[in-house]
Every structure is written in structure tokens, then in C-alpha cells.
Amino acid sequence: MPAIDPIKRAPEKHAANQHKRRYGEPIENKEARLVEQDYKCANQACRRPITMTTGHQDHDHETGEVRGILCGQYNQALGLLADDPTKVKGLAEYINDFKGHTSRAEEVSTNG
């Protein structure tokens, strides 16, 4: 008889152990944050509904301090931007500067 994978046998226990190892805190802290956030993404511009399974614990990669629970999309975005506020601000400025401008394709077709 093959051995039963302990992760499949007790997934909640595995998740709790993994959380404790990764963030140095009990998994109940994640649940408490979700309650504080009304089970919504911590990004105030998003507020997408999240759960214990779909929510991603966001933390400062330098200090390890947990900041909140994000939806996967915004957690990934922060990772891609290396948690750098300058990069986030620069991207926001880029988007704002572009609003209201005609595209290069439109300029060519009207001037061409």
C-alpha cells in the first residue's frame, strides 16, 4: 500500500506550517487581517473579494513585516515592480501623462 502524502492528508495543517515558516506568525493572523479588510484586497483601488485561499500575504521583502492581504493580480504587480515606490509612481505618472493624448497612429492618419 503506497504511503499517503501528508499534504493531501492534512492540507490545512500543511498550510498553517508553511505560513508559520514563511512569515513567522500563525495562520490565524492572516485570517484576522482578512476580517479587518472585510475579505477584500488591501489595495484601496481594487477591493476585489479574497479568501484564505485566493488572498496573497503581502510583506516587505527587506524586513519581513506583513503589510496586508492582496489579490493575486496586485501582489504580482508589486513583485514585478520590486516593491519600489519610485517605479509605482513613475508608472502612474506615465499613465496619467498619456491620458488625453492622441495615439501616434492617429497622428499619422490625420497628418499623413
Partners of 88 in beta bridges: none
Q: Are residues 63 and 90 in the same domain?
A: no
Q: Does pTM surpass 0.95?
A: no
Digitized pLDDT (tens) for each residue of the chain, 112 residues in all: 567 666 666 778 888 999 899 889 999 999 999 999 999 999 999 999 999 999 999 998 889 899 999 999 999 999 999 999 999 999 999 999 988 766 665 665 556 5
User: Which cell numbers hold the place of 98?
Assistant: 498619456
Cα separation, 34 vs 47, in Å, equals: 12
44/89 same-domain check? no
Residues 103 and 75 placed together within one structural domain of the fold = no
**3 and 51 belong to one structural domain:** yes
pLDDT for position 82: 93
Q: Which domain range does residue 12 map to?
A: 1-80
Residue 65's identity, in one-letter code, is E
1 and 46 both lie in a single domain: yes
> How many domains is the chain built from?
2
